[in-house]
Each structure stands twice: as structure tokens, then as C-alpha cells.
Structure 1
Amino acid sequence: MNGTDPRWIFDDVTAWVADLIDTLSDADWARPTPCDRFDVETLARHLVAVLDRTAVVFSGGDPTPLPRLAEGVATADLARAFRDRIPVTRATMTDTALTGTVVVPPGITVPGAVGVLRQSGEIAVHGWDLATARGASGGEPEEAAVAILAVADQIVPAGPDFRDDPQIPFERAVTPADDAAALERLANHYGRRSRPPVLTAGASS
């Protein structure tokens, strides 16, 4: 493919998230995250499942029926499970897949290149969730976030017709702070409140 090939975005985002998961300790698993459906452990399980679902997307299948959390993986093995799936998933992103169409959750057909951005965006925002839960910073894939932001309204529309659909797991977009960097702005687009209070109300760390 040419210079518009988006696969570098997937590479940058997954490498960053893999490093984040590698740093998780036993004390982190029960921490709340800005994604109020998941604590750190279940979010890590979801990220492993996202890679499984993404592999199905680019293999020509519909990932909608697949589990949203990785099953049969011990908590201690989640970091390895995520890292091991990256090259497997990446290999499904062939030139043919990117120039055709794919089905992304929840059953939406998009151009293959857009599908890479859609799936990478979800992984990036959940990486932001993990980093925020741990108070970690550094190494954020800001260039990738800029690229995803450029098509954010196409891959995850901000309008209520999309966000209020019960099948869509994203809250309405949040207005970013003037000084927000690209990854924070992307998280805001996906409905995350990135300035205090960030974590779910009533949650304990």
C-alpha cells in the first residue's frame, strides 16, 4: 500500500498498550478505570478480546458474537496473552483486507483502512484508561492519536443517533480542555472525562 497505509497506527498503539499491561502488578488489578464497565483486570481481559475480535474483522468475519472478555486466561498471563496476539492480529491486516470492506462491532461495514483506525482507536482509548487508572504517563502514541482523531467522527460518530444506540458502548463526546494533547482529546471523543473527576463516581482506588 502507499503512504496512507494506516497499519503503523495499530503497531504504535498496541506496542504502547502491551508495555502498559506488562507493568501491571497484583495491586493494580482491582483498581477502577475511567471506563466504568471495567476495573483494570477486566479491562486487560477486554483488550485481549479486542485483538481476537480484530483478527476476525480482518479475516472477513463478524466479531459481534465473540466474547467481550478473554476467557481461559489466568490474570498473571494477561500481559503475555495480549503481546502474543499482536503479531497474529497484525498478520490478518493484509493489503487485500485493507482495500476491501470489513465488519466492525456492532456489525457495521466500513472500508478496511477505516477498520484499522476504528479498532486502533478503541485500543488507544482503553490504553488511556489503563494509564489513567495507574497514574502512569510517558510513551503515549500521540502521532497515532492525531491520525485517529482526523477521522474520529467517521469511525465513532459524536451524534446522539449513534451514541444513544444501546449497542454502542461509548458515552457522548466530552469537550476537551484547551491544552489537551491528542490522546486525551481522543479519549474525550469516546466519552471519557479526562479532568477531575476522572474515575467513576463512588469508586475507590
Structure 2
Amino acid sequence: MDTPVDFGPLARRVGEVVTGTADAQLDDPTPCPDYSVRALLGHLVGLTAAFRDAARKNFSSLTDTDPGAGTPEPPTDWRTQFPLMLDELAATWRDPAAWTGMTRAGGIDLPGDVAGRVVIDELLIHGWDLAVATGQSYDADPELLNLALEFLNASTDPSDREGMFGPVVPAPADATELDRAVALSGRDPAWTP
């Protein structure tokens, strides 16, 4: 895929979940065992900045840092700033050049179209993580959900998943597409705080 995919609706949806997160929930657990709500927000801030720069092919410490190396603190005005960052991220990926050639994120060189799919997957799954951890509803644009499912289905071999996803969780036969994506990412779709 070398044509831009507009994931602005997904970025806006994640932004809505962010702004709906209460201060009292920041230390609560999430479906990511290593992340509290605060840490998940920090991870989202870091990946948003890194993939914004990856789209621009503007390589720096933001694009060179392994996401497992640490989690930045969310900015103090995260409810205001983070939705703006998500809008900027979506805008940078509307440029066809973002989807072509090579780029870098998380210290890994990868094709632009693969990086774009990673962004969609990260936003979709971490948006779900944050929503269920904070008791909010969550849905996804069907086209973007299908792209995430394609991406996740391509990496079900345990050796391909190390560092990116946990083991695939079986999803019930009547699972929604979103629940299937969540299960493929290594999370239990029935997770509750």
C-alpha cells in the first residue's frame, strides 16, 4: 500500500477517549500488564511523536528510541495537547510521501507503508486499552479495523511477535471484528479492570 490512508477518524476517537480519562484513573491498570493508565498515555504520546516524525522522514532520538526503553510522562496539559498531537499525526500521514520509501520508528528501519499500518494498529489497540481501562465505549472505522486485522493476521507466528505483541488469545466464534483484533494483539477482549 503506497497510497495514504486517512486515519483521522481513529485519531479523533482516541483523542476523545483521552479527554474522557479522569485524573483519578491515572494509576489504574490497563490490559497492557506493564502499563498503568498514566504509562499508557505516556506511551501513546511517545509513539505519536515518533510516528509523526517517521512520516516526515525526520529522524532523531524520537524515531531511534526503542519503545521498551522507557515511557515518557504525559505532558501536564495532556487532555489539551494530546488530541492536537493526534490530529497532527493523522495530517502527516495524509501526505503520499509518508507511505513510500523507507522510514524509521522505534529504532527500526521499515517501509513507509508498513509504518503506516503500525500506526493504525497502535492507535486502534491502545485506544481500546485506554477505553476499557477507563470504562469508556470504543468503536473503530470498519476500513481501519480491516487494515489492522490484516496487519495482525500477518504476524500470528510467535517468533514474529516477540517485542510487539503477546501470544494470540482465542476469540469466541461470535466475536466482533474489534474483539478479534484485540485477541490477535495478545489481549483478552473480555478484560475488565
Which consecutive residues of structure 2, in runs of 5 or more, have no partner in the other structure?
none
| Residue type at the aligned position of 1:81 | Q
Gap change, CA 1:72 and 1:21, over 3 Å in 2: closer
Alpha-carbon distance in 1 for matches of 2:74, 2:36: 18
Counterpart position of 2:158? 160
SS at match of 2:65: coil
Kept in 2, the 8 Å contact 1:102–1:115? The answer is yes
| Residue type at the aligned position of 1:158 | T
The answer to whether structure 1 residue 175 and structure 2 residue 173 are counterparts is no
Deviation readout 1:107-140 (Å, 9 max, x if unpaired): 1412x22321111101110111111112222443
SS at match of 1:109: strand
TM-score, normalised via structure 1 length? 0.79
Q: How does 1:36-55 map to 2 (within 5 A)?
A: 36-55=33-52
Q: CA deviation at 1:150?
A: 2.2
Q: How does 1:27-38 map to 2 (within 5 A)?
A: 27-38=24-35
TM-score, normalised via structure 2 length? 0.84
RMSD: 2.4
Gap change, CA 1:150 and 1:170, over 3 Å in 2: closer
Higher helix share: 2
Deviation readout 1:121-177 (Å, 9 max, x if unpaired): 0111011111111222244334421222123234xx12121223xxx1421111222
Counterpart position of 1:98? 99
Counterpart position of 2:147? 147
Aligned residues: 187
Alpha-carbon distance in 2 for matches of 1:12, 1:37: 28
Q: Structure 1 vs Structure 2: percent identity of aligned residues?
A: 25
Which consecutive residues of structure 1, in runs of 5 or more, have no partner in the other structure?
200-204
